[in-house]
Amino acid sequence: MDTPAHDSIDALIRHLLRLLNKLDRIEKQPIQVEDGLDLSTKEIHTVEAIGKRGTMNVTEVGTHFGITKGAASQRISRLVERGLVAKRAAAHSNKEFELSLTDLGWRAFRAHEHYHGRAKTELIERLAALPREQLDDVTVVLDIMEGVMNERLREQ
């Protein structure tokens, strides 16, 4: 039976799917760091995550992005090959690697901050205009959706 709440939920899901499709298109756009060096959005966001934390390990990268350790490892390997990330054995474990940015990685980090700075500032300003309760409500809705997605992924 369709109810007004059901209609609102359907509209919310459609809206979220539109946003995800747009995000997917944005994620596929290369970002020019400097002449001769373009990075995918996934790569630059990984550089950003490592730069903001100072160091990370592969498991933390996977957790941060909600991807498998294997997918995180592939992403990191590509960044190491391209000279953006340094990988060294962690002091506390000979099975774990500590990841940090190289000089080129830091240049990419700063380029990304500049590239997305305006859009992020605008988004923050618009969201800051909302009452705290609305932001909290959206967070609850997103948490519920993520929980359902996590359950579905565990089923596979």
The string of pLDDT tens digits covering residues 19-35 is: 989 888 887 888 888 88
Comparing C-alpha atoms, which of 108, 1, 3 is closest to residue 50?
108
What DSSP string describes 78-106?
HHHHTTSEEEEEETTEEEEEEEEE-HHHH
pLDDT at 143: 92
Share of the chain above pLDDT 90, in %: 54
DSSP 130: S
For the chain, the average pLDDT equals 89
State residue 1's pLDDT score. Answer: 57
Region 111-132: what's the mean pLDDT? Answer: 87
Lowest mean pLDDT among 20-24, 95-99, 117-121: 117-121
| Mean per-residue pLDDT, 73-93 | 90
Distances (CA, A) of 65 to 7, 34, 57, 72: 31, 25, 13, 8
Give the domains, in start order, of the chain with CATH numbers: 31-155 (1.10.10.10)
Report whether 41 contacts 31 (CB < 8 A).
yes
Which distant-in-sequence residues (6+ apart) come within 8 Å of 1 by Cβ?
none
pTM for this predicted structure: 0.69
| pLDDT for residue 135 | 94
Other Cβ atoms less than 10 A from the Cβ of 55: the count is 15
- Cα angle, residue 142 at apex, residues 141 and 144 outer, rounded to 5°: 65
Predicted pLDDT of residue 116: 74
